[in-house]
Chain A
Amino acid sequence: MQKISIDKAAKGMVLAKPIARENGVVLMGEGTELNEQLIERLKGLDILKITVKGRPLGGEDEKAVETLYAELDQRFAPVSADKLCTRIKEMIKKDIKRRRQEADL
């Protein structure tokens, strides 16, 4: 899953999240396959960002979750005695997991 700006949208990409107005009105459902017409329509509706399946724009090779956890521990090494910091570290761990699960969808 990748959040991209509308300028990078291309034919064949599939929406991983529905596109909705701030008031909740859904404009295009999850799973919609984009074509030129739909992309133009989104631009016309002033939609700036869309979330699509896979990683069509590439980006860094994904690191293993264990590597991310180890790097996180290193960043937090100086504050390991601070309970609030440790709590935040756990939240970030949880979020790494969440994003990885969503990316695998």
Chain B
Amino acid sequence: MDHEKEKIRRKIKAIKSLPTLPEVAQKISKMVEDDKTSATELGKIISTDPAISGRVLRLVNSSFYGFPGRISSISNAIILLGFDVVKSLIISVSVFEMMEKGILGLWEHSLGCAIASRFIAKKVKGCDPEEVSVAGLLHDIGKVVVSIQLAEDYEEIKKIIDEKKISFIAAEKAILELTHEDIGSWLAESWNLPIGLLEPISCHHHPQQAQQAKLATAIVHLANFLVRAVGHGSGGDPWVPELNHKAWERLGLSLSDLEEIIADLNDELESLETDELM
């Protein structure tokens, strides 16, 4: 069988089945692009979907953001976090609703990665911790599609991870000839996500390939490594991914910075376990 053809067939299947966003998220995407939209207007639209606004508020009030006071309304969240971050959060909560049916532990892994990204970003100059943490939250969205839309292939992937002791991404390459990075980048493009989210999604295993959001991609790369390293959640295989030394050097962190990040991360993850977040 022609490998190229098979690859294209899978690609079309994956694209066709890209999860569509809930109506409210689509409306918001349009509104965010319009300069005339006010936070109050946007807040009103989001509040028309109580399930989504409830989840967004729970997320912004959790240790994920760590604001000192309670944020009680969506309009306040928009003022504090900005349009783009709130839009991305809505996409995140919509995606994770689907994710819960997919890979067990992927939500915990993603949330852990978001928290790690925020801790790293706070110590790195020249990046926006809020946006970077959303990038961390969304970095594995491609895996949601793999596990749900390509369910048969996903079974094969799980099998060879077990048998051959290879990483999730290596198994994806073997079975699908494409990876959750590829699929994630199609999703990010079809949802019009900004480059600061798109590149960490499409390059978090290959941070050297990022063109514009190099710093954000390097942060999410390290965050993904760390959250696997401390053993929180599951990314689909039981090992830490490869660590790209160039990405580490780009961040300009010291080893004692890293020690602090690990301690903060573990403390935060522990407090998360006692919360019911979603």
**Which residues of A approach B to under 8 Å, CB–CB?**
2-5, 8, 22, 46, 48-49, 57, 59-60, 71-72, 74-79, 82, 84-85, 87-89, 91-92, 94-95, 98-99
Contact = CB atoms under 8 A, between A and B. Distances in A.
Interface stretch (B2-10, B39-47, B258-266): B258-266
B231 A48 contact: no
Interface of B: 61, 63, 68-70, 167, 225-226, 228-231, 238-240, 242-243, 245, 248, 255, 258-259, 262-263, 266-267, 270-271, 273-275
A19 B94 CA distance: 35
A91 B255 CA distance: 9
25 contacts: A3-B271, A4-B274, A5-B275, A46-B68, A46-B69, A48-B70, A59-B273, A60-B273, A75-B238, A76-B229, A78-B240, A79-B239, A82-B242, A84-B243, A84-B245, A88-B226, A88-B243, A88-B262, A91-B255, A91-B258, A91-B262, A92-B230, A92-B262, A99-B266, A99-B270
Contacts of B167: 78
6 nearest A-B pairs in the assembled complex, by CB-CB distance? A3-B271, A46-B69, A78-B239, A57-B274, A4-B274, A91-B259
Contact of B231 (A46, A72, A99): A72
A75 B266 contact: no
A71 B242 contact: no
Given A2-B274, A76-B229, A92-B229, 10 more contacts: A3-B267, A5-B275, A22-B68, A48-B70, A60-B273, A78-B167, A79-B242, A88-B226, A95-B230, A99-B267
Contacts of A87: 255
